Structure 1
Amino acid sequence: MWLTRPATYFDNVSLAGTPKAYGLGIGTADGTISRDWGLSAPIANIPADGWSLPLTGLVTFPTGNVYHLQTQADDGTRIWIDDNLVLDDWKNAASHWSPDGNVTATAGQTCRIRVEYFDTAATASPRLYWTGPGVARGSGELIPMSSLRC
């Protein structure tokens, strides 16, 4: 569950150098990747602005088809599936929807996932969504805990 997954925080926006703080996850009690720190620092020893965070785990695609991964974030995100960059929205921007990152999966396929996030200033809020079989395009849902794990 992403709520208890170790989280590594950097005091820069490029995931560079040695992590400056460690914590347990960023998700919500329902196991999704969805967090809003507002104007606050994400954890002690990390500034409220100018930090980054990589999250790693596994994602399982329940049915076979094309899945469209998307983030809603303030500021930038990247998503890697099995070490392939599928979504690159690494830019300084107010809260916005990313372009789609598409993944073709077979039913029950489990892949490594890495979600990278950075915040430059003001609010900080990463959220991870998908659309696919049974989820209408344009009405993405937060990827559920049943599909995300450590």
Structure 2
Amino acid sequence: MENIKEILEKNNFSFELIHNDIPIHTAKEGADYFKIDIAQISPTLIIYTDAGFHVLVVSGERGHVNFKEVKQLLKCKNVRMATKDEVKDLTGFPVGNVPMLGIPLPYILDKRLLEFSFVYGGCGKENTTLKVDPNALFKLNKVVGVLN
């Protein structure tokens, strides 16, 4: 988490680390807790494709991952969610605490996130949420694709 804070400060992006009084497990829980549009909640997911593992950060309004859209974007045949063990091994974080930035994997980001001044998601620490300018996700990660 300190690494994320340093990276964001160094690059002059607006952000806030917010301690949650309760665990947040879903986009709906996050939207209700912060009293914001569900589209501002940004789950960080790890997926496996023919091209290897990728980080996928999407708008909470999507409800689920459209694997067909990811396949078309990456021009691959197989896409699946990473297992809990794969997520932990690849990122060092358990499912639900994977940070929105700083993972050394290629990223696929949701263009819808740019509709907001701030989005909310993981920062790598349990019961802590990163509120951040979504432009930081696009600038500071190795982005290989953007979902419409």
TM-score range relative to shorter protein: under 0.3
User: Which structure has more helix as a fraction of its residues?
Assistant: 2
Q: TM-score by structure 1 length?
A: 0.26
User: Which structure has more strand as a fraction of its residues?
Assistant: 1
Q: TM-score by structure 2 length?
A: 0.26
